Homo-oligomer: A and B are copies of this chain.
Amino acid sequence: MYKINLSEKLSLFSDAWSPKIIAELNGQHVKLARLKGEFVWHSHEHEDELFYVVEGAFRMEFRDRSVELGQGDMIVVPRGVEHRPVAENEACVLLFEPASTVNTGNVVSELTKDHLDRI
């Protein structure tokens, strides 16, 4: 039961596409991530995923359309839906998702993280 400040947590890391766990509740993880450039197309078989933009802006691409997101915006990507986040400039996002979620979902790539740090 302590205060978690997002700016302070963001100052602790600079690597893109490497989510850090900042809190856990009800089997869900709260993560912070920096997005920069294009991620890989993927989906999560069993997990819905929430993205909330803390700083910057990015585009969530789906196979049939895209959604532009800026600071203060959020989006829920339902399980099974292919998506790809793309950030022209760096974006800092908060993620809410089940603890079981792997960042690249059904795809294994050089961006896949088998272990996430807690900060």
Q: A62 to chain B: which residues have CB within 8 Å?
A: 1
Interface magnitude class on chain A: 20 to 34
Which of the residues B1, B6, B76 comes within 8 Å of A25, measured between beta carbons?
B76
A62-86 at interface with B (beta carbon < 8 Å): 62, 67-69, 72-78, 81
Interface contact A96-B30, CB-CB below 8 Å:
yes
Digitize A16-53: 1 where CB-to-B-CB distance is under 8 Å, 0 elsewhere: 00000001111010100000000000000001111000
How many Å from the CB of A22 to the closest CB on chain B?
8
Q: A7 to chain B: which residues have CB within 8 Å?
A: 72
Q: Would you list 5 pairs from A and B whose C-beta atoms are within 8 A, ordered by A residue?
A: A3-B67, A3-B75, A4-B76, A25-B49, A26-B98
